[in-house]
Every structure is written in C-alpha cells, then in structure tokens.
Amino acid sequence: MTGTLLRIEGLTKAYPGVVANDDVSFDIAEKEIHALLGENGAGKSTLVKMIYGLVKPDSGTMTWRAEPFTPADPRAARAAGVGMVFQHFSLFNALNVAENVALGMENPPPMRDLAARIRDVSETYGLPLDPFRTVGDLSAGERQRVEIIRCLLQDPKLLIMDEPTSVLTPQEVEILFETLRKLRAEGTSILYISHKLEEIRALCDAATILRLGKNVGTCVPSDTTARDMAEMMVGGTLQTPTRTARDDGDVVLDVTGLSLKPANPFGTTLKNLHFTVRAGEILGLGGVAGNGQDELLAALSGEALTEKNAIKVRGESIGHLGPNARRARGILAAPEERLGHAAAPDMDLSENALLTGAIRKSLTSRGFVNWPAARDFADEIISAFDVRTPGHHVAARALSGGNLQKFVIGREILQDPDVLVVNQPTWGVDASAAADIRQALLDLAARGTAILCISQDLDELMEISDRFGALNEGRLSDIRPVSELSIEEVGLMMGGAHGMEVAHIHEEEQEAGA
Amino acid sequence: MIRLERRPQPSRLWSYLTPVIAVIVTMIAGGLLFAALGKNPVEAIRTIFWNPLFGEFAFYYRPQLLVKAAPLVLIAIGLSLGFRAGIWNIGAEGQYIVGALCGAGVGLAFHPTESVLIFPLMVIAGGLGGWAWAMIPGLLKVRFGTNEILVSLMLVYVAEQLLASMALGLMKNPEGHGFPGSRNLSDYASATSWIDQDIGLHWGMAAAFIAVILAYVLLNRHILGFNIRLSGEAPRAAKFSGVAPARLILFCLGTSGALAGLAGMFEVAGPSGQVSIDFNVGYGFTAIIVAFLGRLHPVGILLAGLLMALTYIGGEMAQSNLGLPAAAIQVFQGMLLFFLLALDVLTHFRIRLSARRTA
Amino acid sequence: MDLSAINPVLLIASLMVAATPLLLASVGELVVERSGVLNLGVEGMMITGAICGFAISVETGSPFTGFLAAMGGGALLSLLFAFLTQFALANQVASGLALTLFGLGLSALMGQGYVGIKPPATPRLDIPLLSDIPVLGRILFSHDLVLYFGIALTAVVWVLLKYTRVGLILRAVGENHDAAHALGFSVVGVRVVAIMFGGACAGLGGAYISLIRVPQWTEGMTAGIGWIALALVVFASWKPWRVLLGAYLFGGISVLQLNLQAAGIAIPVEYLAMSPYIVTILVLVSLSADKSRAPASLGRIFHASQ
C-alpha cells in the first residue's frame, strides 16, 4: 500500500433532532478495501453521501491525494474519481442497461460504442450483462451489476459500495468479492459499507466503526474477532434470542399450488408454490430481493386474491377472501414497507392501530369507530413492545424505523393470530430492536402460532426458523429443517450464482497490473 | 438559501391559519389588480366583502348569501370526500346540470297536477341523475382504469349540449311564445324548492346543512370515512387494511355526483326557476375552490362556501356600482386557490434559512 | 340534408387546421409528463395564450409577434404552476385545476376590449411548386407557417427524447426522480424547463385558435381543447408520433361534425357538438388498459429530504 487516497477529518453533519455524523475522522489508503461498519442509523449513509457530493458537511474537511476535496455535487465527485453503488439502486426501470449506464457518465460515448464497452467490461469482471435489456426485467443481482459497471466505466479511484451483498446469494457474494479483489489489485480503493461482520473479515484490509454518528474505533478486521467488532458497533453485548423446544403442532397454513400474476409490470410471477406451516413452527423463506417476496405476502394477506383452494387455514379455503375476512379467520400479516404499506405515514398511532385491528379487536360497531378503544389498543402496543414515542397521537412518520417496526409487528402479535406472515421483520432496524422483534416472534411461536417469516437476512432466518426454503424467480425450493443445512446448500437453494461467473483476468492484464 | 424541511407531523396550527392568510393575501393582491384596472382598491374590497353584509342594502343581500352558498357547499362536500381519497371528480358542473334536468323533467311531467309527492320525487330524480352521470367516470375507472378527471370533465361539455338541447327542445315551455327555456318551476307550487321565497329560504340550504353534518360524522366517526382518508394518504396501506378500491371509487364519485345533482335540482326548482341554456353558472368549478379553501373539512367547507358566495354577491355589486368587470371576480377566485395551495406548504414543511457553513 | 355540400379537399385541409392547436398543446404536455409532471392546466394556458396572441397581434398588427406573445404568456402562466408544484410542493392535480380556473378568469379579463374585433390575417405559406400540385397541393402545401411548425416540433421532440442526452435525462427524471437526484441531476431544474416548454406550446396552440382557426376572440373559446389534449397524451402512450396521429383524428372528427351541421343532417346540432367529447371518452376507455408506458414518477411530488 502506498499513501492515503482520501483523508477525512472531523466531518460533522446535523439534521434537526439528530447529529448524523459527529467529528468523524479516518483515512482510506490507496489500494485498500476499507470497511465502514455500523448499525442502521449509525450515520454510514450520511457519511458516504458527503463523500459523493450529495450532502454538504456542516464542518470538517476531506483531502483527496493531498488536495482539498469539496465536491459540490455527484458530478464533481465522479470527476474526481469517486464511484458509488447504492443500496437502493439508483436505476431507471423503464430504460435499458446502456441508457442507465450513460446517465451515470459525464461524457458518454455514442450508444453503440457504449454497448460494446459494457459487454467488454462486464465480461472482464465476470458480470455478464446485455446492454439492451430493460432494467426493470433484470434480477436484483443483475441490477447491481449495472450499477457496478456504471462505476467501473468511469475508471474510479474510490468505489463506494453500500451494503452490496444484501441482494446476493452466498455464491454471488464470493464472486463479487473476487471482482473487488481484482479491482484492488488494479489500484482501486474500495469503501465497503456493511454490518455483516464475517464478510468484512473475509474481504477488508481496514475497518472504521461508527456508532450514533461517532467514530468509535478502527481495526484490522482479519485480526479482530467478529464478537469484538459487534460489541464496538452496538456498544454493549447483545442478547441472542432464546428459544424453547417445541412439539410438532397441527398444520395450520396449507398452501397448495399457489400461482399469481404480479400487479405491477416489473413484479414477479409466483409459480405453483407448495408449503405448510404447523402450529408453533417458524418457516423461514429466504431469497434475494425481487424473487416473489412481496407477491407472496400480498397473496397471503389477501391484498391479491388467488384461486380459492390455493390457501387453506385449518382446512378452510381462503384464497378468494379479502384481508378483513382473512383477519377474521386468524391469518395476519406485516408487510416489508413500513411507511405507506404497513402504516399510513401521516396518520397517528391510534389510527394506525385501527388500520388492521378493527376486526379482531372489535374497534367498530355497525361501522362506527370506537376511538377510545382504538387509542387503548395503540397504548397497549406501545407499552407491550416498548415503542419509544410520546404517545398514540404521534404520526407514524415521526417514529424511528425500529420503533415503527416494533409497533407494526406488535399490532399483529397482540391480535393473537393463528398464522402470522411477516416480510423482512427487521429490515433497516437497529440491532436491539431487531433482537426484540425476533424474540417476540419466537415467543409467539412458542404460544402455538404458525409463523411464516420471509426475509433476505439469512442470519436471521438461521437463527429463528425451524425449517427453511428459498424463493427464486417466483418458485419455491424444497423446504428443509434448518439444523441440517450448510450455507452452501442455502446458497444453492437461493439459485446459486444466477449466471454470474468468477472474474477472469487476462494474463497480459495481470502482468500489466502487477 | 431557503430550504424546506419536512415537519415530523403536519402542523395543526398552520392548517387552520393558511386559509385565513390566503384570504388576506388574496385581498391584497386583488386590491392591486383592481387598482391596475383603475378602480379604488379599498372601495372595491369594501364593496365586495363588507357592503353585502353590513352595507346599506345588507337586508337584501344577506339572504342572497345563503342562496349562493347552498349549491357551493352541497357540491363541495361531495367533492371533498373524493379529493380526500385521491379520486378527482372535476365534472361536478355536468352532474349539476344533469341533476337539474332530471329533477325538472319530473316536475314538468306532472305539470299542472298538484301533489305533495311531486317535490320528493323531483329530489330523488335530481340526486339519481347526478349520481348516474358521475357513475359513468366511476364505472369506466373501475372497469377499464380510465382517468376519471378527463372523463368527468368531458361529460361537462356533453351535459352542456344536453342542456341546450332540452332547453330548446323537449323541455321548452309550450306557452313560451317560442322563447327558449322551460316553464318556471318556482311558480309551480308542488315543484318549487322555495320554502319561503320572501325571506329567501329553500330546501337546498337545508340539504347543504344536513350534508355538512353527515359528512362530519362520516369522516370522524365512521370506518368508511376512515377508509376514505386512508386511501388518500396511503393507498397501499388502505389496500392492506382491506379497503376495496373499486367500491370506494364508486362510493365517492356516486356521492359527489348525487350531491351535485341535488344542488342542480334545488337550483332549477328555486332560484333559477327554469331550464335554460345559461342555467349553469360554474358552481361545479367554483366548488372545487370551496372544497380546497375549506381544507376538505365539512365545517371549513361551510365557511368557505359562505365566503365564496360573498365574492359572487360582492362581485355583482362591484360590477354595477364600480363597473368592475365580472371576470375580475373570476380572477380573484382563481388567485385565492393559488395562494392557498402555495401557503399550504407551511402545514407540512418548515422553512429554514440556512447559511451554509463552509469548512 | 345535402352531403354533396361537403368538399373533401376543403375537409382535409381544414382538418389539418383544426388539429394544429391540439397537436401543439399535446406535444407540450407530452414533454411535461415525460419529465414526471402532470399539468392539468393546459386549458388555462391555452386560453391565456389565445388572448395574449390575439391582443398583441391586434395591437402590433403582426400575427408573428402575436404568436410569440402567446408563447410567452403561456410560459409565464405555467411558471405559476411550476412554483406551486416544484417549490411549494403542492398537489399537482389541484395546482393544475387552479391554473385552469385562473387562466379562464384572467383571459376573460384581458379580453374585455377585444370582443368582436378581427385580428390581422396570418399569411399562408403557399409553398412554390408543391402548392400547385392539383388537389394535394391545396390540401398539404397551402397552409400557414404555424401548422408546419407544429409538425416539425413533433419531429424535434421525437428526436430529442429518443436520441439525445437531454432527452435521456428528461426521461430519467420522469422515470425515477430519486435516482436522478442521486446521480446529481437537478430534478426541479429539468421539470421547470419542461413545464415552461409545455406552457409555451399550449399558449401557441391557443393563439392558433384565436388568430387562425376561428379567428376572433370570445370568452372560453378553447372549449375543452386543452382537456382533450391531455387525453390525447394518454391516447398516444406518451409517444410523439402517436400524438400527431391522434390530433389529426380528433381534428377530423370536429371538422366532420361541423360540416355535417352545415350540411343540415337530421341529427340535432347539440348531439353533433357532443361528439368530440364522447369520442374522447371512448378513446380513453379503449386505451386505458395499457398504463405501462406512463412515466413512473408521473404526478409524484419530489422533495430531496437529505
């Protein structure tokens, strides 16, 4: 390693009510893969947005190869040699791959030349892509390739990757790491943002750990245990959820031959799904984003209607029933998107309690709303699930991600479901709230509820589920007991490498790079 | 540098204040406009806003206020339900016309029979007419996904032609010496909507008050009202909650159509009196302003309706006394909606002046 | 009834004239919607353009200056809409309606002194040689400049959207404004320019009605053409050439019904006059199934939060 590529000194950025970054300093060396580690809300995103010119720091300096670095906007950052792969892709569904790439470049060549270069680069780095395909039709892994290639064509000195593996199978993660190592060998530094400790230990040369906006330490990941890093990240020890042994219950949810066309043009078709969930059991369904998770939740919650006999609860066919009829029969759901789907952002918590609780909590009579009862229900959720909020009169939008998620999951759990379907129950939630939610799900199962947990977080699924299956392009893999599974098998169930290949480095390039 | 910063939750205070400020700002801007037209701005504003209420002839104008406000409030209440749910019926003018034609049609058919049943029948026909006219965009939206804004608006032009055809043809007064327009229903005891024409009271006003109360109860106490609000604020959450969008669309469009139809029916059988080519005077469009000015809230709409009625009456006074062009009032009303929408940003956002500290 | 009174040559030539205001307004709105903004104020901008163009050309005696003024008037009015939706973050549907209501009032106020006046005639562009071709020459090559400008504008917009970087950025902003912002494009900037372009086009279309098609000034003379233009954009699936096709189709219907009225057909005048609006509804119904081409961010409010 040769000198410092980017030096960050005393960066501070405050938003009303929260200091996102507080006096953060660290160096990224040339040819280094530098991890930025931290929980959700630790300030990682704000920090990289400052480097990428999307946000201006309140104070502090950045130095790029000994020159002051103050990018006015993303274009300036790109011109200096910063490339960024976003966590929530900054892609345009209706445009094709080449157009998407062109939008991220300052002076794109004519489309035909660009397409050729995309083919070129994508093959060199083992990320095959057809430049003329519409991005909306691509899988999550393929979309990430578009973003990476968009950056690589700019020849970046620093590549920022925000949680890149959250949309990949274990096999795809390995291939991505090969690509990143090759980039490092060619002289690119990488700022790698993640909260997955094992990945960081496997890949990164140095790590900076953020907690509540502050730099709480740096380390060499390969010399540090995952546990030590976790404690720095969380600032204390975490309780791992406890589970009690359970007996096999009766089959409560029986899904047979469930097929569904998606509501939106870029959705996934569900193809002939079969599975059962027993009372007291947690069935975990993994899979990379966009492989039918949202559609499955919609089919089970009743937002999308299916063939009558495709879904049965305790032997009764409910595929043709809407959400309220299903709630009456004890099947409840909590969707992934908190704001706008599971909860109405501008409505207060008592109104949001009414949103799904009207039927089972008898919050209405002859259509008239019993507001005191709705407020009591909201208060009950708030106290039972330790939702940090001034009260039930607060708008859902004003809650932090973790608190709102506790409210949403708590709202369903307190309605005493026979079947609970959750999608990404701890997505974007801080570690302590995530632990609370997982424990609550385990407790609910222990009381005899059949739980279907759809998640992209494999660690979570391995931790709480009894059996595991994976969604891949709208199909469901075999379902296997978790205790018998290895991570390689899980990866294969999720669809293996989805057509990715290991970066192949031409001999002459390797010599030139060496 | 001015920055907008989203409030954690909408400000109650500002949601009450913005309509008031909008009215004040509009008065100032309107005054400037009147001054530009060569009128004394203070006098013009006084003529419009003060004289109808407290001026020399206020005893004549005050009842007029209710006459003008009734259709505006009735229509705006209906529109507000849909607007809250994100369903945009902007063809109330057409539903108003068709309601009037249906109501008048029943009345004229019975002429000259006298019976207490005739007026109730007219009310039903008027409501059904407006309802049916609004169900066209409703059913098309539910069945084919057609944009309700464009369809309901196109139907205004169709309804206007229908009105012309009726006034010149089928409903023309056989004793009218060839003049266009129907018999005068306000002279037909069993069909008139006047309760007492001398003090200027008609059934449309009663209907408007009832609509305000029912809408208030619906929105604040009933699950259907909750579903309407939910659908407007978070459509996906509404679907998750179990709201059937198709039913909601039909309910909102149907209700607003029926109320507009009723407004038209009360108007044709009372203040207007007859089916004529120029029967519709734009209440259906002004009601859109009333609905927004009233913050889509029933009580707010009642107040906004009265205010808008005031600008109509005051505008007429200013027209005759000061020679202020009628169109100036239309501009004035349009400005009001502009300022309201612009100021509404303060309800959801805080304005920050940020001096950029550079490192 | 005397159908022979309808001269097919004149019919087609007047069809092109009738279609032009619609074409201009629709092409403008197409650009606006492609940038992700729904401006329902087309009718208001058209009528404002109609009076601006009319008044200025009467005052100056130059139709050309009038058309420029109409574009300026439309663009200026659209700036109000841009302020409301892009800076005050107001609801686009409500703001568009406000624009229409305001425009109708404003134009009526401005047009007070212009009722019953004849505007200066716009010279026809008799293209040498081509206009001498029998029948076809009369139909295709003997119109005013603005009519050809409308067709050329459609072509320019098509090329711009499909082949240029500006067009790509515009489409990107309309497709996903958050992503476009993340890549460093000015979402608000792009949209304000698009809105003003739409306003200028609508203004020009309005002036075409008051200066060429009718030609005189009456209150509310656009009679819903702005709304039909909005429907046309949906009909055209946001594609410029289909807008041209649609405009000519509607132009044809309105000219045909006028001709039938003149020919004294047995259908009452009122029912003939309804026909363009009913056809619009029917067309909307038949094409509403395919919403997939609509820009994904259409009508959504953009606010860069952090």
Whether pLDDT at A423 is above 90: yes
- Could you give the percent of chain B with pLDDT greater than 90? 55
Probe site for chain A from B4, B219, B240 (most A CB atoms < 10 A): B240
pLDDT at C40: 92
CB contact under 8 A, B334 and C98: yes
**Contact call for residues C183 and A151 (beta carbons, < 8 A):** no
Q: Is C168 on the interface with A (CB under 8 A)?
A: yes
The chain-wide mean pLDDT, for chain A, equals 88
pLDDT at A90 over 70: yes
Q: Please report, rounded to a whole number, the percentage of residues in chain C having pLDDT higher than 90.
A: 50
φ, ψ dihedrals at B2, nearest 5°: -95, 130
**Nearest residue to A59 via CA among A20, A16, A99, A9:** A9
Whether the pLDDT of residue A511 is over 60: the answer is no
Most confident segment among A170-184, A287-301, B174-188, C194-208: C194-208
Report the amino acid identity of residue B199. Answer: I
> Under an 8 A CB cutoff, do C274 and B155 touch?
no
Q: Give the CATH superfamily of A251-493.
A: P-loop containing nucleotide triphosphate hydrolases (3.40.50.300)
CA distance A459 to chain B (A): 28
The pLDDT tens digits of the residues spanning C116-147 come to: 888 888 887 767 777 777 777 777 777 788 88
Interface test with A, best of B4, B7, B241, B356 (most A CBs within 10 A): B241
Q: Which element (helix H / strand E) includes A173? A: helix A170-185
Helix (H) or strand (E) holding A161: strand A158-162
Q: Which of C128, C149, C150, C147 is nearest to C137 (CA)?
A: C128
pLDDT digits over C12-33, tens only? 888 888 999 999 999 999 999 9
Mean pLDDT within A450-470: 91
Residue ranges of domains in chain A: 4-237, 251-493
CB contacts, 8 Å: B90 with chain C: 97
In the three-class reduction of DSSP (H, G, I as helix; E, B as strand; rest coil), residue C31 is classed as helix
> pLDDT over 70 for what percent of chain A?
93
Shortest alpha-carbon distance between residue A20 and chain C (Å): 11
Tokens 């952090």 sit on residue = C306
Contact A87, A140 (CB under 8 A): no
pLDDT of residue A510: 43
pLDDT of residue A166: 77
Contacts with A54 from chain C: Cβ below 8 Å: 182, 184
Give the pLDDT band (50/70/90) at residue A303.
very high
CB contact under 8 A, B223 and A323: no
- Burial code (b: 16+ CB inside 10 Å, e: under 16) for C182-202 equals bbbbebbebbbbbbbbbbbbb
- Most confident option among A368-377, C15-24, C281-290: A368-377
Tell me the nearest-neighbour CA distance from B154 into chain C, angstroms: 5
Per the CB < 8 A criterion, the answer to whether B276 and B182 are in contact is yes
Distance CA A59, CA A203 (A): 32
* Residue of A15, A355, A365, A423 to mutate, interface with B, max B Cβ within 10 Å: A355
Two structure tokens written together for A375: 């407020």
pLDDT at res. B358: 37
Q: Is B34 an interface residue toward C (CB < 8 Å)?
A: no
**Arithmetic mean of pLDDT, A459-466:** 89
| pLDDT value for A512 | 42
Query: Region A321-328: what's the mean pLDDT?
Result: 95
- Classified as helix, coil or strand, A210 is strand
Check: CB of residue B359 under 8 Å from CB of residue A70. Answer: yes
Instruction: Reply yes or no: is the peptide bond before residue B112 cis, omega within 30 of 0.
Output: yes
Q: Answer yes or no: are the C-beta atoms of A149 and A101 closer than 8 Å.
A: yes
CA distance B317 to B130: 32
What pLDDT does A341 receive? 94
Confirm whether A4-237 and A251-493 share one CATH topology.
yes
User: Tell me: the pLDDT tens digits for B231-268?
Assistant: 999 999 999 999 999 999 999 999 999 999 999 999 99
Quick check: C5 pLDDT over 70? no
Chain B interface mutation, best of C101, C237, C285, highest count of B Cβ atoms under 10 Å: C101
User: Which residues are CB-neighbours of A431 under 8 A, at least 6 positions away?
Assistant: A39, A233, A234, A238
What is the C-alpha separation between B22 and B332, in angstroms, rounded? 12
Is C179 in Cβ contact with A89 (below 8 Å)?
yes
Alpha helices (runs of H) in B222-349, residue ranges in sequence order? 223-233, 235-241, 245-268, 283-293, 298-322, 326-343, 345-348
Whether pLDDT at A509 is above 60 = no
CA nearest to A212, candidates A14, A52, A355? A14
Highest mean pLDDT: which of A210-219, A261-270, C23-32?
A: C23-32
Q: What is the pLDDT of residues C64-99, one digit of tens each?
A: 999 999 999 999 999 999 999 998 888 898 899 899
State the CB neighbour count (10 A cutoff) for residue C242.
18
Chain B's closest residue to C43, CA to CA, is: B153
Distance (Å) from the alpha carbon of C298 to chain A's nearest alpha carbon: 13
Q: Do C178 and A90 touch (CB under 8 A)?
A: yes
- Asked if C79 contacts C199 with a C-beta cutoff of 8 angstroms, the reply is yes
User: Long-range CB contacts (< 8 A, 24+ apart) of C259-262?
Assistant: C259/C5, C259/C6, C259/C11, C260/C6, C262/C5, C262/C6
Average pLDDT in the A179-207 region?
90
Residue C122 lies in a domain: no
Residue A59 has its nearest CB partner, among B221, B241, B357, at B357
Nearest CA to A453 out of A364, A335, A342, A352 is that of A335
Q: How far apart are CA A228 and CA A200, in angstroms?
A: 13
* A255 pLDDT more than 70: yes
Contact of B334 with chain C, judged by CB distance below 8 Å, is answered with yes
The radius of gyration of chain C's CA atoms, rounded to the nearest angstrom, is 19
Predicted confidence at residue A498, as pLDDT, reads 65
CB-CB contact of A319 with A336 (8 Å): no
Residue A503: predicted pLDDT: 61
Domain count, chain C: 1
- Note down the domain range covering C173: 3-117+140-287
- Region of C119 on the Ramachandran plot (φ > 0 left; ψ -120 to 50 alpha; else beta): beta
Q: How confident is the model at residue A504 (pLDDT cuts 50, 70, 90)?
A: low
Please give the residue of chain A at the shortest CA–CA distance from B218.
A368
- Judged against a pLDDT cut of 70, whether residue A431 lies above it is answered with yes
Average pLDDT over residues A116-144: 86
Q: Chain C: give the shortest CA distance to residue B211, in Å.
A: 23
For testing contact with chain C, the best of B32, B158, B166, B312 (most C CBs within 10 A) = B158
pTM for the whole thing?
A: 0.89
Question: Do C196 and C12 meet the contact criterion of CB atoms below 8 Å apart?
Answer: no
pLDDT of residue C154: 96
Looking at chain B, which residue has its C-alpha nearest residue C280?
B154
Average pLDDT, stretch A243-258? 83
pLDDT reading at A167 higher than 80: no
Position A301 scores a pLDDT of 95
CB atoms A102 and C179 under 8 Å: no
In this structure, are residues C145 and A52 in contact, taking their beta carbons and an 8 Å threshold?
Answer: no
pLDDT at A1: 45
Whether residue C306 has pLDDT greater than 50:
no
Per-residue pLDDT, averaged over C164-179, amounts to 93
Chain A to chain B Cβ contacts (< 8 Å) = 84
pLDDT at A262 over 90: no
C296 closest CB neighbour out of A74, A89, A94: A94
d(C-alpha B61, C-alpha B83), whole Å:
32
| pLDDT at residue A490 is higher than 90 | no
Tokens 């005054």 — which residue?
A: B31
- Total count of residues recorded for chain A: 514
- Identity of the residue in B169, B325, B341 whose CB atom sits nearest the CB atom of C90: B341
* Residue A348, phi then psi, degrees to nearest 5: -80, 175
| Subunits in contact with chain B (3 or more CB pairs closer than 8 Å) | A, C
Work out the average pLDDT over A100-125: 88
Number of CB atoms found within 10 A of residue A137's CB: 11
The three-state secondary structure class of A260 is: strand
CATH code for position C26: 1.10.3470.10
Is residue C192 within 8 angstroms of chain A, CB to CB? no
C-alpha distance from residue A120 to each of A98, A125, A141 (Å): 13, 9, 19
| pLDDT at residue number B93 | 96
pLDDT of residue A500: 64
Q: State residue C155's pLDDT score.
A: 96
| Closest approach of A154 to chain B, Cα-based (Å) | 28
Which strands sit side by side in the sheet containing A214-219, from one edge to the other?
Answer: A82-85, A158-162, A189-194, A33-38, A206-211, A214-219
Superfamily of domain covering A4-237: P-loop containing nucleotide triphosphate hydrolases (3.40.50.300)
Which chains does C contact via 3+ CB–CB distances below 8 A? A, B
- Higher per-residue confidence, B198 vs A5: A5
C144 located within any domain: yes
Closest among A280, A215, A213, A259 to A418, alpha carbons compared: A280
Give pLDDT < 50 ranges for chain B.
356-359
Quick one: closest CA in C to B34, which residue? C109
Q: What pLDDT score was predicted for residue B174?
A: 84
Nearest-Cα distance to chain A for C24, in Å, is 26
Closest partner residue to B359 among A57, A344, A348, by Cβ?
A57
Q: Which is nearest to C204 in space by CA: C70, C69, C52, C106?
A: C70
Which range has the worst mean pLDDT, A243-252, A255-264, B93-102, B180-189?
A: A243-252
The residues pairing with C94 across neighbouring beta strands, listed in sequence order, are none
Nearest partner of A333 among A314, A310, A360, judged by Cα: A360
Asked if C39 and C180 count as a contact pair (C-beta separation under 8 A), the reply is no
User: Contact A445/A461 with Cβ under 8 angstroms?
Assistant: no
The shortest C-alpha distance from B207 to chain A (Å) reads 23
Beta strands A270-278; A282-286: pairing state: unpaired
Q: Is the pLDDT confidence value at A514 over 50?
A: no
- B214: its two tokens: 């029912």
